[in-house]
Structure 1
Amino acid sequence: MSYILAERSQSKPTGGKCGAGDAGSPPEPTWVHEIFQGILTSETRCLNCETVSSKDEDFFDLQVDVDQNTSITHCLRCFSNTETLCSDNKFKCDHCSSYQEAQVL
């Protein structure tokens, strides 16, 4: 990937700076980001207060289980099924200020 960034920096002026930019700023997106990067939004509903929390995460690949003799559509539906968080896997609800059972939507 550093080769791609170096190639991009040769084609664009960087204002005298080398590399991917300031220490606090994210690197400039490359064609890899443009083609393969997506955003996965996770929503979690607390079963105590019914508050829904949302979190966006960048991704380049998804871990989708593919079963024999099933369609990709079926596999993606299974990937996005609702999951219940309980027992040792409870969700820390910001509204309740404690660990609660929750559903990942």
Structure 2
Amino acid sequence: MKKVAGGPVRTLALLLAGSAVAALTAACSVDLRDAICGSDEYPVAAVGSAGGGSCVPDKEQPPKGSVRYPEGKVPQHVDDKWDKYWQDHALDANGRLITDPDQVRKG
């Protein structure tokens, strides 16, 4: 068997370099899905409308005709679980789910 120059030192250096690349790749992973809103905004639903809504700056209240999504049911990315859910469901002016499908406008 032929000896490799550097032997254990070279092997250790390669292992450390590989580990560093793996750590950096994991630490720098980026979510490439399209966000519903920008980083300083939150999504709001159009009252009575399925699939309608907009984004509001974090420090502002929802505009007239819009309400916040219920906690835990806020869409974060296009086509995520809650984005798909709100395509067929709507909220009333008090932020409650409209259960009568005849009262929901498709946006």
Give me the TM-score of the superposition, normalised by structure 2. 0.24
Looking at CA atoms only, which structure, 1 or 2, has the larger radius of gyration?
Answer: 2
Give me the TM-score of the superposition, normalised by structure 1. 0.24
